[in-house]
């Protein structure tokens, strides 16, 4: 049977609608600001944007005006007319548009597309015109503005964006819009955004009392509340179990170290702008660690190592501190204090593939456990321009290690994509891109090769021939940081954690206070069985107690009235609303313990 090939977004009608809507928006903006400069305006996921350089900043009221004008333009049924022009003709048409002239130069040289990315062949230069607006554009577009439904698009937000995405360039004003084929689709999309807000980890984190931020503590420095503490401990317990099976050793290292260590490691030359400023004690500068690796290198180097000892796998749950620029902070997903699920594997070149893929296998176990289905493994490579600046200056070793990773992944049959200029300063890495349930993308796990720093620390082991050899180091964080992992899981589960992760696993509810003693006793028995349980003895009605437990997303509610008390049994209400009456407590305990010990996803 012929396989249905999914249409590429670029070829879809929606893409054309959005691209065309961007042009219509540009027309409306240019009518408002005749001296404004246009740049680029492509379709993106769910919509489109257009970047402008305007004489003044846009206001939300402007947005309304622009949107209103767009509706008029759209209804006037103007055709999108394409025309191929020479570079010089284009220069004449866009003589007042400096950004367009820059783009034309790029196109003419055949070097760069509108984003500044290299192009393989020299493209045709085309323009599109609708009504009074002409844009340098390769298309494609819908036939006429009437193909953009006047009630199926909406301008969303104004944002700043650097010209060509480079922070050294001028900041432009970007307007984001969304556009769909029909009003219903638009409504559906706006609805989705509302739903997404509900499972935002920042909102859930507050509601479920997982973490807080406090102005006086500082930006990007989360305070974990008791419920969050439990999540972290459970994740750690999981990671430690996995690492124990895989032959890791655990170490502990200090948060502060002398400048010398980071000079040697290369962090100060390559990574200083992500580090907190040093503090000076007794004339010596100390830095707060952004990574654990230099200390682990010291531990590896603290005694002679034989090839028989390798691989050495040192794990640590140390908290690292990185100076992330204020605008980059984002809830738990991007913080300044982070607890790493960190380890460094020191191995020989022959062992590399097995060790590296062992980590990848670990990822996959986690994917399965958490039910993460959508992810992309990304092989992050160096860039030639970055050598000596962002990356240690040894092109030969870069190419060699990158090829080693590629081979390992290929041999293991693990699909991945490659991205240039995304590596760590000391080597290439595999980052796992995931999408939270509300569509946010970020990298979670990471698996990095370090061919540079062990040498700077004079790390060595004695090989079979009796000669010194420098080990490779694999930096890995399969659970990412606890902060990001918890943020991800909050959104992933919408706060409905599986039993093993739930901060409160059972709430025991009395119907009247005649059962309070019995209920307290049940809670105690549950806790003695290793189940996190609380009794609700308040004088509220049962319905209110249940509601509160539901809002806190407690997986199991044990409800006890006179009937249960007399029969010596309990009634179980599960978070999903299902209910099971008159079961012996021992039976429930067995069920709960089973789900917890298996880390089952079902309740």
Partner RNA sequence: GCCACCAUAGCUCAGCUGGUAGAGCAGUCGAUUCGUAAUCGACAGGUCGUCGGGUCGUAGCCGACUGGUGGCUCCA
CB of 216 vs RNA, minimal distance in Å: 8
* Identity of the residue, 338 or 372, whose beta carbon is nearer to RNA in the bound complex: 338
Q: With CB under 7 A, what is the number of residues at the site for RNA?
A: 77
Residue 315 binding RNA, by CB under 7 A = no
Peptide bond into 117 cis (omega under 30): no
Smallest gap from residue 332 Cβ to RNA (A): 8
Confirm if 372 and 413 have CB atoms less than 8 A apart.
Answer: no
Count of CB atoms within 10 A of residue 409's CB?
Answer: 20
State the nearest-atom distance from the C-beta of 254 to RNA, in Å: 20
- Figure out which of the listed residues 189, 330, 367, 435 binds RNA, where binding follows CB under 7 A: 330
Q: What b-and-e string marks burial along 384-399, b requiring 16 or more CB atoms within 10 Å of the CB? A: eebeeeebbebeeebe
**Contact present, 333 and 268 (Cβ < 8 Å):** no
> CA 584: distance to chain centroid?
44
Q: Which of 297, 476, 484, 595 binds RNA (CB under 7 A)?
A: 484
Residue 288 contacts RNA per CB under 7 A: no
Sketch the per residue contact string, 182 through 221, with RNA: x for CB under 7 A, - otherwise: --------------------x---x------x-x--xxx-
**Considering only 15-23, 34-42, 243-251, 544-552, which stretch makes contact with RNA by CB under 7 A?**
544-552
Angle at 332 between CA 328 and CA 337, to 5 degrees: 80
Query: How many alpha carbons fall within 13 Å on the CB side of residue 95?
Result: 4
557: Cβ contacts below 8 Å, ≥ 6 apart: 506, 507, 508, 509, 546, 549, 550, 572, 573, 574, 575
| Residue 205 CB burial class (10 angstroms; 0-12, 13-18, ≥19) | buried
Let me know if 461 is exposed, middle or buried by CB neighbors in 10 A (0-12, 13-18, 19+): buried
Q: CA nearest 601: which of 581, 573, 576, 578?
A: 576
Among 279, 547, 594, 598, binds RNA (CB under 7 A): 547
Q: Are 588 and 572 in contact (CB under 8 A)?
A: yes
| Contact flag: residue 178 with RNA (CB under 7 A) | no
Around Cβ 158, how many Cβ atoms within 10 Å?
15
| Residue-level length of the chain | 603
Q: How far is the CB of 252 from RNA (least distance, A)?
A: 20
Task: Pick the closer one to RNA by CB: 142 or 546.
Answer: 546
Q: Closest approach of Cβ 143 to RNA, in Å? A: 30
| Residue with smaller CB distance to RNA, 64 or 513 | 513
Stretch that binds RNA, among 183-191, 244-252, 278-286, 441-449 (CB under 7 A): 441-449
The bridge status of strand 533-536 relative to strand 506-510 is parallel
- Contact residue for RNA among 236, 422, 455, 520 (CB under 7 A): 422
Nearest residue (CB) to RNA, 78 versus 336: 336
Q: Is 599 in the site for RNA (CB under 7 A)?
A: no
Q: Residue 334, interface with RNA (CB under 7 A)?
A: yes
Q: Which residues pair with 474 in a beta bridge?
A: 345, 449
Site for RNA, residues 549 to 588, rule: CB under 7 A:
550-551, 557, 559-564, 571, 573, 577, 579, 581
In 3D, which of 83, 130, 94, 90 has the Cα closest to residue 107? 90
Q: How far apart are CA 456 and CA 320, in angstroms?
A: 22
Which three-class secondary structure state does DSSP give residue 381?
A: coil
Binding-site member from 481, 505, 533, 595 for RNA (CB under 7 A): 481
Q: Which stretch binds RNA (CB under 7 A): 166-174, 298-306, 465-473, 518-526?
A: 166-174
The nearer residue to RNA, 7 or 513, going by C-beta atoms, is 513
Distance CA 158, CA 144 (A): 26
By the rule CB under 7 A, 60 interacts with RNA: yes
The least CB distance from residue 214 to RNA, in Å, is: 9
Among 514, 586, 590, 600, binds RNA (CB under 7 A): 514
Q: Shortest gap between Cβ of 190 and RNA (angstroms)?
A: 14
Residue 443: both structure tokens together: 């990298």
By beta-carbon proximity to RNA, the closer residue of 86 and 540 is 540
What are the residues facing 473 on neighbouring strands?
A: 346, 450
If DSSP codes are grouped into helix, strand and coil, which group holds residue 594?
helix
Q: Find the binder of RNA among 404, 424, 452, 473 (CB under 7 A).
A: 424
Contact between 162 and RNA by CB under 7 A: the answer reads yes
376 binds RNA (CB under 7 A): no
Is residue 329 part of the contact set for RNA (CB under 7 A)? Answer: yes
Q: Give the residue, chosen from 322, 476, 507, 532, that forms a contact with RNA under the rule CB under 7 A.
A: 322
**With contact defined as beta carbons under 8 Å apart, do 568 and 521 qualify?**
no
By the rule CB under 7 A, 338 interacts with RNA: yes
Binding flag, residue 161, RNA (CB under 7 A): yes
């Amino acid at each position: 049977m012929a396989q249905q090939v999914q249409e590429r977004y670029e070829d879809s009608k929606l893409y054309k609608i959005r691209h065309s809507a961007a042009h219509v928006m540009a027309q409306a903006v240019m009518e408002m600001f005749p001296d404004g400069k246009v740049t680029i305006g492509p379709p993106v996921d769910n919509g489109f944007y257009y970047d402008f350089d305007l004489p003044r900043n846009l206001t939300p009221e402007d947005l309304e005006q622009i949107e209103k004008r767009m509706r008029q333009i759209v209804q006037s049924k103007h055709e999108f007319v394409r025309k191929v022009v020479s570079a010089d003709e284009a220069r004449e048409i866009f003589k007042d548009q400096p950004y367009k002239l820059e783009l034309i130069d790029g196109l003419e040289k055949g070097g760069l597309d509108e984003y500044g990315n290299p192009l393989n062949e020299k493209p045709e230069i085309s323009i599109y015109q609708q009504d009074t607006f002409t844009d340098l554009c390769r298309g494609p577009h819908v036939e006429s503005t009437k193909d953009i439904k006047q009630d199926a698009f909406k301008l969303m937000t104004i944002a700043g964006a650097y010209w060509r995405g480079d922070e050294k360039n001028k900041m432009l004003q970007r307007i984001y819009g969304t556009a769909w084929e029909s009003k219903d689709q638009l409504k559906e999309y706006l609805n989705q955004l509302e739903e997404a807000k509900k499972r935002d980890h920042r909102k859930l984190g507050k509601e479920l009392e997982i973490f807080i931020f406090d102005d006086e503590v500082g930006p990007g420095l989360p305070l974990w509340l008791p419920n969050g503490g439990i999540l972290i401990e459970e994740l750690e317990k999981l990671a430690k179990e996995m690492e124990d099976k895989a032959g890791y050793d655990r170490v502990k290292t200090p948060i502060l170290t002398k400048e010398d260590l980071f000079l040697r490691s290369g962090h100060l030359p390559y990574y200083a702008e992500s580090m907190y400023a040093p503090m000076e004690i007794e004339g010596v500068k100390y830095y707060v660690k952004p990574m654990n690796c230099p200390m682990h290198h010291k531990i590896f180097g603290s005694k002679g190592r034989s090839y028989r000892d390798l691989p050495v796998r040192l794990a640590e749950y140390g908290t690292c501190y990185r100076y992330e620029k204020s605008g980059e902070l984002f809830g738990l997903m991007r913080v300044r204090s982070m607890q790493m699920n960190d380890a460094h594997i020191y191995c020989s070149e022959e062992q590399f593939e097995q060790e590296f893929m062992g980590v990848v296998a670990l990822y996959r176990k986690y994917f399965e456990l958490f039910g993460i289905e959508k992810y992309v493994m990304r092989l992050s490579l160096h860039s030639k321009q970055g050598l000596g600046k962002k990356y240690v200056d040894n092109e030969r070793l870069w190419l060699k290690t990158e090829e080693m990773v590629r081979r390992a992944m290929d041999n293991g049959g693990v699909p991945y994509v490659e991205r240039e200029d995304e590596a760590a300063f000391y080597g290439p890495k595999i980052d796992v891109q995931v999408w939270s349930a509300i569509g946010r993308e970020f990298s979670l796990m990471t698996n990095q090769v370090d061919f540079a720093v062990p040498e700077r620390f004079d790390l060595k082991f004695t090989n079979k021939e009796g000669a010194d050899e420098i080990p490779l180091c694999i930096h890995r964080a399969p659970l990412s940081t606890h902060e990001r992992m918890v943020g991800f899981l909050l959104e992933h589960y919408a706060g409905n954690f599986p039993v093993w992760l739930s901060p409160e696993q059972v709430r025991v509810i009395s119907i009247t206070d005649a059962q309070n003693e019995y209920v307290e006793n049940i809670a105690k028995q549950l806790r003695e069985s290793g189940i996190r349980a609380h009794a609700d003895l308040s004088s509220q009605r049962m319905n209110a107690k249940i509601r509160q437990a539901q809002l806190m997303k407690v997986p199991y509610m044990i409800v006890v009235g006179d009937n249960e008390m007399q029969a010596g049994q309990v009634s179980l209400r599960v978070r999903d609303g299902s209910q099971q009456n008159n079961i012996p407590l021992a039976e429930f305990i067995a069920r709960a313990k089973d789900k917890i010990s298996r880390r089952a996803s079902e309740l």
